[in-house]
Amino acid sequence: MTLAESLPVLFGLAGLVNPFTLLIGAALGWYADARVKLIVAGFAAAALSVLLDAALNLSGMSPVGGYEGGPLAVFPFRFVGGGLAAALTYGLRGKSRRR
C-alpha cells in the first residue's frame, strides 16, 4: 500500500473519523473534570476502538472503514480524533454549565 493509498484510509473512517472513537471520546470528554484528562480520554478512546475492531474482526465482521493495515497504523489517528471529540464535548459542557 503506497502513501497515496493509505492517507485516505488514515484520515477516513478507519482512522481520524472512526465513529467508535468519536463516540467514546465524546463520552469520556463529557465526564472529564479537568483539561489534563482529555489526553487520557483520547488515548482510552483510541485503545477501546482498536479493541472493538479486533473483536469485530475475530467474530468475522470487517472493521469499520475496511482497512487492511494493522491496528498500530490507525492508532495515532484515532488518538487525535478521540482527543478532539473529547475536547469539543468538554468545551460544550463547560459552556452549558456557565449559563
Does some domain include residue 2? Answer: no
C-alpha cell at 88: 469539543
Residue % of the chain over a pLDDT of 90:
57
What's the confidence (pLDDT) of residue 99? 64
**Per-residue confidence (pLDDT) for residue 61, from 0 to 100:** 86
Give the residue from 48, 51, 55, 39 showing the smallest Cα distance to 21: 48
Q: Is a pLDDT exceeding 70 seen at residue 85?
A: yes
Evaluate whether residue 7 is within a structural domain: no
Asked if residues 39 and 98 have their Cβ atoms less than 8 Å apart, the reply is no
Domain that holds residue 35: 12-98
The verdict on residue 22 lying in a domain is: yes
pLDDT of residue 12: 86
The string of pLDDT tens digits covering residues 35-61 is 999 999 999 999 999 999 888 888 988
How many domains would you assign to the chain?
1
Identify how many contiguous H helices and E strands the chain contains and give both numbers.
4, 0
Provide CB contacts within 8 A for 11, sequence distance 6+: 17, 77
3 inside domain: no
4 lies in some domain: no
The reported pTM is 0.88
Is 5 within the bounds of a domain? no
List C-alpha distances in Å: 46 to 1, 4, 42, 68, 70: 23, 23, 6, 18, 14
Kindly state whether residue 83 falls inside one of the protein's structural domains.
yes
**Mean pLDDT calculated for residue range 78-92:** 96
Among 23, 21, 30, 12, which Cα is nearest to 67's? 12
